[in-house]
Structure 1
Amino acid sequence: MLVITTPTGQIGRQVVDGLLDGEEPVRVIARDPARLSPAVRDRVEVVQGSHRDPDVLMKAFVGADAVFWLVPPDPAAPDVLAHVLDPTRAACEAIAGHGVQRVVAVSTMGRGIEKNAGLLSAAQAGEDLMAGTGARFRALRPAGFMENLFRQLDAIRDRGVLFWPYTADRTVGLIATRDIAAKAVELLRDDSWTGQGQVPLVSPDTLTPEGVAQVVSEVLERPVRYQQVSLDALRATALEHRANEAWAQALVDMTAAQNAGVYDEEHRTAQPAPTGFRQWCEEVLRPAFLA
């Protein structure tokens, strides 16, 4: 039995889709099963409830051979660290209690992020907690999601500008969420791996923000330039979009760490994922833009 959290989320949905053509039975934890497509609902076992509820986790992990674990963001969470660690701690208890053999969890790329790196530090703390279960464990460590560019579509369309808080001449780490999901599916299906480890996930690109804007411009066939925004502006934008002070500060701290190079080592040494940025723009961003 393979148990999947966040089956309607950006990554979890793709993990479920990737598993459905296999022989392994799939169980999902869904707060609102109605959000699952009929094709998925008919082919999986559903445990209704939240992955933040320890009782739900205890029920869902019964008989599980492997678990896919992801704590989705919540800009309204009053404590960023507790937002990650509280459900992860409950998951660890359920994993140990039911003797789950394998766990694949989404963490984050980065070195030296144990403290003062905002959302990155919280993800690292969750990864460390999960590793402490003693289960066979792989932490997927993705770079920044390419899909985050969807938030920029209005600015690109209306102003021809890509606004990011990243230093213009620094290489940015990017990954398509489909490559994260594909690696998760591969590991969940494979019962041969042992021990604990990390799997950095980054695209084959070495693009600066200005290079990203150039690719977007070429694929969308319209002028797009890059403009760096300040960390203060990043904080203000987050607050305008209903993030609370704690979450806004965590975003600022994460971005400062990224600009300081916390992705650099893993970016240089990671095995590149299949999807390049230009390919993703042609296959995903352009259709979304035109729609």
Structure 2
Amino acid sequence: MKIVITGSLGHVGQPLAENLVGQGHAVTVISRSADRRATIAALGATAAIGSVQDADFLAATFAGAGAVFVMIPPNFGAPDPRAYYQQLGGSYAQAIGQAGVPRVVHLSSWGADLSTGTGFILGSHDVEGLLNALPNVALTHLRPGYFYYNLNNYFGLIRHQDIMGANYGGQDKLVLVHPTDIAAAAAAELTAPDAAGRSVRYVASDERTPDEVARVLGAALAKPALKWVTFPDEQVLQTLEQRGVPPHIAALSVDLGNSIHSGALGADYERHRPTQLGKIKLEDFAPEFAAAYERAQE
């Protein structure tokens, strides 16, 4: 089966492409960079070089595909993150309709069921709505939790203050996920023989508290005193703005943290928890985190 993957060879795209090629599928990987062509070919996949903002390019690439994996590539420089998601979601929806793709798996996020109060995740909520409007498509929204590698954002705090922290913490619940576990779930959905209608699948590797995260990662870094600190919203806003983050972007970060702290972000996850968690637990990720931390100090 021809399967098209968006997102190039990123954290999820590469293991997903490897998985599907290994199963014998004809895999096309979309990338905006021509420099990726040789690497994609080396995996046994076909490169399609172009922009996911170009609906006509997408439609031509999707033509004849039995399934398509769509995700919104990160763009931390977007002045309006929600508008960016809406633009790309609209591009995907148009191309899927033009090409007549029968099966779509969309990389969304936990909390995408909510229409307010989740910061950056509101974009995923909007994309789900755009795709849900497509007729005659078997559609699954994958809703992963908090990506492990986002913990790398705390390298500076760890290095300078021996702490991790946000406007949530303590015994708040974090649903953690590794990209390889997302890729495995995506591969299973893309190749499912009986997919139909609309569905949501949550993807998680582990469920831990911020206090546990700090303890496990501190042990991996040989920093047993590493603690997670819960900061007030005002301090988070001030710190982000001192780093040059625009106020409206900083506010989205605070909203996201508050939705974790209140439990709102994970409420639907708790109602529809995956029957089985992924393979990569926090302790498995810890050496990967420690290695990245050491590289960042070089």
Show CA shifts across 1:241-268 (max 9, x none): 5544443322222222222112144146
Instruction: Determine whether 1:266 maps to 2:269.
Output: yes
Instruction: Render the CA deviation track for 1:102-121: whole Å, top value 9, x for unaligned.
Output: 11111111276112322122
Pick which of 262-271 and 133-142 moved more: 262-271
Task: Tell me the number of residue pairs that the alignment of Structure 1 and Structure 2 aligns.
Answer: 288
TM-score relative to the length of structure 1: 0.90
1:115-139 Cα deviation digits (max 9, x unpaired): 2322122211111211221310110
Mapped to 2, the partners of 1:60 and 1:32 lie a distance apart of: 15
Matched, 1:184 2:186: yes
Kindly state the Cα deviation for residue 39 of structure 1 after the two structures are TM-superposed.
4.3
Aligned CA distance change for structure 1 residues 244 and 72 (closer, same or farther; 3 Å): farther
SS in 1 for 2:106: strand
Q: Does structure 2 retain, via aligned residues, the 8 Å contact 1:75–1:242? A: no
Displacement after TM superposition at 1:278 (Å): 1.3
Distance 2:244 2:46 in 1: 35
2:237 match = 235
Q: Show CA shifts across 1:16-43 (max 9, x none).
A: 222221211111211103135x342242
Aligned to 1:289: 293
> Would you say the 8 A contact 2:172–2:260 is kept in 1?
no
Counterpart in the other structure of 1:197? 199
Moved over 6 A (4+): none
Equivalent residue number for residue 25 of structure 2: 24
Q: Is the 8 A contact 2:9 2:40 kept in 1?
A: no
Please name the residue that 1:92 is paired with. 93
Moved more, 187-196 or 267-276: 267-276
Write the distance in 1 (CA, Å) between the matches of 2:242 and 2:21.
Answer: 39
The equivalences for 1:26-175 within 5 A come to: 26-35=27-36, 38-42=38-42, 43-110=44-111, 113-134=114-135, 135-175=137-177
Cα contact 1:170–1:208 (8 A) shared by 2: yes
> Which 5+ residue runs of structure 2 have no aligned equivalent?
none
1:75–1:247 contact (8 Å) kept in structure 2:
no
Cα distance, 1:158 vs structure 2: 4.2
Assess if the C-alpha contact under 8 Å between 2:111 and 2:118 holds in 1: no
User: Residues 52 and 261 from structure 1, CA distance in 2 versus in 1: closer, same or farther, beyond 3 angstroms?
Assistant: same
Q: 1:7 to 1:208 in 2, by over 3 A?
A: same
**Aligned equivalents of 2:162 and 2:219: distance in 1?**
12
**Alpha-carbon deviations, 1:38-57, whole Å to 9, x = none?**
34224222221111111221
CA distance in 1, matches of 2:41, 2:227: 43
Tell me, what secondary structure is at the counterpart of 2:201? strand
Change (3 A) 1:45 1:286: same
Q: TM-score, normalised by structure 2?
A: 0.88
Q: Distance in 1 between matches of 2:268 and 2:199?
A: 16
User: Which shows bigger deviation, 76-85 or 130-139?
Assistant: 76-85
RMSD: 2.1
Instruction: Report deviation, 1:155.
Output: 2.9
Question: Partner amino acid for 2:202?
Answer: P
**Cα distance change of structure 1 residues 238 and 190 upon mapping to structure 2, 3 Å threshold:** farther
8 Å contact kept, 2:166–2:231:
yes
Q: Deviations over 1:223-243 (max 9, x none)?
A: 211112333343344445554
**More deviation in 58-67 or 147-156?**
147-156
User: In structure 2, what is the equivalent of residue 14 of structure 1?
Assistant: 15
The one-letter amino acid paired with 1:216 is L
Change beyond 3 A, Cα 1:143–1:63: same
The residue identity in structure 2 corresponding to 1:57 is: L
Partner of 1:3: 4
Counterpart amino acid of residue 203 in structure 2:
L
Aligned to 1:78, the other structure's residue is in SS state coil
Is the CA contact 1:144–1:173 (under 8 Å) kept in the aligned structure 2? yes
Aligned equivalents of 2:219, 2:271: Cα separation in 1: 26
Distance 1:265 1:85 in 2: 23
State the alpha-carbon separation in 1 of the partners of residues 270 and 100 from structure 2.
34
In structure 2, relative to structure 1, the CA distance for the partners of 1:9 and 1:240 (3 Å cut) is farther
Distance 1:225 1:90 in 2: 43
* Alignment-mate amino acid for residue 280 of structure 1: F
Tell whether the 8 Å contact from 1:57 to 1:91 is kept in structure 2 after alignment.
yes
